[in-house]
Amino acid sequence: MSTPQQPAYLDNAASTALVAEARAAMESAWARPGNSSSLHGSGRRARRILEESRESIARDLGARPSEVIFTSGGTESDNLALKGIYAARRREDDRRRTVVVSAVEHHAILDPAQWLADEAGANLAVLPVDENGVVSVAALRELLASDADSVAVISVMWANNEVGTVQPIAEVARLGAEYGVPVHSDAIAAAGHLPIDFAESGLSALSIAGHKFGGPQGTGALLLQRDVACTPLLHGGGHERDIRSGTQDVPAAAGMAAALRAAVTHRDAHNAHVVALRDRLRDVLVAVGGVQVNGALGHPDAADALPGIVHVSFDGCEGDSLLMLLDAKGVECSTGSACTAGVAAASHVLLAMGLDMGTARGSLRFSLAHDNNNDDVTAVADVIGDVVDRARAAGLLSAGSRTGGRR
């Protein structure tokens, strides 16, 4: 019996394959039981693995080990930063009720920000973006200049997970420092793929997630400056600087640290490989006709784009139809963030960038990693023309049925 052919996996922005270094680190940590808070030999061994992992992550992200707080993933890190800093800042001064986010944040930021507005008395300020998804620093400057005393926290992502646009984080952080407002960045799409130096960035807090750079799912960290107050969301035990209580998952921390070490070590070579594939894939998709490339990659100067993301809109198509047709032919991609997959709505990121509803709904994200190759791009090239033709035909048929066949 023949072995089924592996699909062309082009959804690495959702989750990457576990790298060998992470697997080995986790297997070693699993070899013996031990709670890292226990005082006996097995506990001390677990604590040593945990702290060595913390030190490794700190080195790779330009942070102090004491600034690395282990969490269950990016969503928890984002929630802890936004809710925790907001609560601490407002406790110090009740006037600090404004939460500032960009219009293209992941829902792990947008949803807790909305929760703070609905349940915790926050005023939500949303920064606009341009047609490439770049946040308006001018709008932030105007907001802070008019009433910085009311701002509790600012959160702007390092790079967008859907269209790949890299944000001007250094400028955002400088503005926050100038007005004395802590700035958090969701760097989940960027860590392991772009150079990150937490100390140099000027940020107060930064989130990462292990499964975006070859680590295990369900792992993450919040980098938090020692002098930034943050009210914990979880209580009981006082783990992680008394900011994130709960017995630490030592094997997961070791796996995430090993994966990040491998990603940073090989980043330049991996990025060169991925960019070459990305550019070829973009050309394959554009050749279909009626295709718009979105985000920074669609601009003549793509220097401020993540290396592995190609986000495109197909005229006359529904993204969900394209996705399923491609999946049937062995090509796996996405219509946007995996956290909102299956939701019949246009991406808030694309709408914020000014795309109309039809264009936004006809979009796909292809995301590559170092373990992709030219065969994966060829797999797309072999089927994309037929898939788009079928999706457009289905769209025309659907439009005709809605209008009773009238033109």
Catalytic residues: 339
Query: What is the 8-class DSSP label of residue 3?
Result: P
Helix (H) or strand (E) holding 124: strand 123-127
From 156, 132, 158, select the one nearest 297 (Cα to Cα): 132
Q: CA 233 to CA 241: how far, in whole Å?
A: 13
Task: At 382, list the tokens.
Answer: 């072999």
Burial label for 173, CB within 10 Å (0-12, 13-18, 19+), is: buried
Query: What is the 8-class DSSP label of residue 298?
Result: G
CB 169 within 8 A of CB 198: no
Block residue for tokens 């986010």: 101
Block residue for tokens 């809710």: 83
Instruction: Give residue 291's identity as a one-letter amino acid code.
Output: V
Q: CA 188 to CA 31: how far, in whole Å?
A: 29
User: SS3 breakdown of the chain: % helix, strand, coil, rounded to 5?
Assistant: 50, 15, 35
Task: At 73, list the tokens.
Answer: 């993933």
CB 208 within 8 A of CB 221: yes
Q: What angle do CA 388, 389, 394 make, to 5 degrees?
A: 95
